[in-house]
Chains A and B, each alone.
Chain A
Amino acid sequence: MSRHEPADLLQGTLDMLILKVAALEPIHGYAIVQRLQQISKDALQIRQGSLYPALYRLENRGWLKAEWKTTEGGREAKFYSLTREGRRQLEAETAGWKRLCDAISLVLETTE
């Protein structure tokens, strides 16, 4: 689906992060980027152009639902929120990510 094959892991990670941020409350694309950079203390640099294809993909899979709403600034924006399926997916991905991290740190610590 993506034109950048080597970015597979990164793409999967971005999906997970988007789901996580959208799980809190309905949120538009710009705010997702802000929130991610804020939470990660700017350690995560997201290529903003790849955010929207990811959002569309997640909506397509039924994990996000979108709705046009008015922002505080009085403009129309598309707000994304998690579906029930998206919540399950987020749990599964988080668990998988934790297992992967544990496994990697285990290897790194044992071979030290």
Chain B
Amino acid sequence: MRIPFSRRNWERQMDAELRFHLDQQIRDYMDRGLSRAEAEWRVRQEFGPIELAKDECRDQRSAELLNHIWRDLRLACRSLRKSPGFAAAVVATLALGIGANTAIFSLVYAVLLKPLPFPAPDRIFSVETLIPRQNALSSLPMRVQDYLKWRNVNTAFESIAALTPAQWNLTGNGEPERLGGALVSANFFTFLGATPQRGRTFTAEEETPGKQNVVVISDSLWRRRYGADPAVVGKTIMLNAVPRVVVGIAPPNYWSPPARCSTRR
């Protein structure tokens, strides 16, 4: 059985077949002495609605197509079952291919595609000092003096914030712990559009010497070490044996500087 897969071709054949039927019947009636108009009228009466008949034929065609697909599937399954070694090889190939693709995509997504967890991440830039005509050590970290100067004359950016990775020893109230974090300018959280889930972030005044003993702790530290106790805000903790006041708790999943950075202090 062959299927005319082209729909237009199939329709043309059906039309021709029905046309043939009607023409024959009309000619028959005319041979028996009816006028052409009478014959045509009678044939229409006897045949019934032609469009309905055509629709029913089309239904058959759809059923036939489904039938074919189903038969192909069954054939495929049968032949796979007949050669299990080949089937296993195919399945293994597919599994490896899909697995490798998934792994690579996950990596590419995490490294290249995943957006930063801040509003308007495409408008955030990192600034560094470049030394022309020097290949080794051609870029240097920013100096605080430069930062302060630039912040005052900045017109290119909405705002400029500074950050330097750091590590601390957290002591008191349980096991001592080595924590990664960063020293930041007071506007750092506003800069990234982050609001603390409890307490507050830093005020401009806390940038001045003597008022810097304030910290915002991460959500994970808050949960792990302090059991998500809201009363931690306002408490004093010991970092590198210096008392610091916890003023706020960063939002969950908030980005913190990778620990790797803090080794180059």
Do A and B come together as binding partners?
Answer: yes
Q: Check: A26 CB closer than 8 A to any chain B CB.
A: no
B47→A49 contact, CB < 8 A: yes
Q: Which residues of A contact B49 (CB under 8 A)?
A: 49
Question: Are the C-beta atoms of A53 and B20 separated by less than 8 Å?
Answer: no
- In the complex, chain A residues whose CB is within 8 Å of the CB of B20: 28-30, 75-78
Complex partner residue of A1 from B14, B16, B18, B63, CB under 8 angstroms: B63
B35 part of interface (Cβ distance < 8 Å): no
Main secondary structure of the interface of B (DSSP, over half): helix
Interface pairs (19), CB distance under 8 Å: A2-B56, A28-B20, A30-B24, A30-B25, A47-B48, A48-B25, A49-B48, A49-B50, A49-B52, A49-B56, A50-B53, A52-B14, A52-B57, A53-B53, A53-B60, A59-B1, A60-B63, A62-B1, A75-B20
B59 at the interface (CB under 8 A from A): yes
Residue positions of B touching A, CB distance < 8 A: 1, 13-14, 16-18, 20-21, 23-25, 46-50, 52-53, 56-57, 59-61, 63-64, 67
A57 within 8 A of B: yes
- In this complex, how many residues of chain A approach chain B with their Cβ under 8 Å: the count is 24
Q: In chain B, what residue has the closest Cβ to A4?
A: B56
Query: Which residues in window 60-74 of A have CB below 8 A to B?
Result: 60, 62, 65, 68
Shortest CB-to-CB span from B51 to chain A, Å, is 10
Whether A52 lies near B48 (C-beta < 8 A) is no
* A53 neighbours in B (Cβ, 8 Å): 53, 56-57, 59-60
Bound together, the chains give a CA A46 to CA B75 distance in angstroms of 39
User: Taking beta carbons and an 8 Å cutoff, which residues of A are in contact with B?
Assistant: 1-3, 28-30, 33, 47-50, 52-53, 56-57, 59-60, 62, 65, 68, 75-78
In the bound complex, CA of A111 to CA of B140 (Å): 112
A104 to B24, CA, bound (A): 39
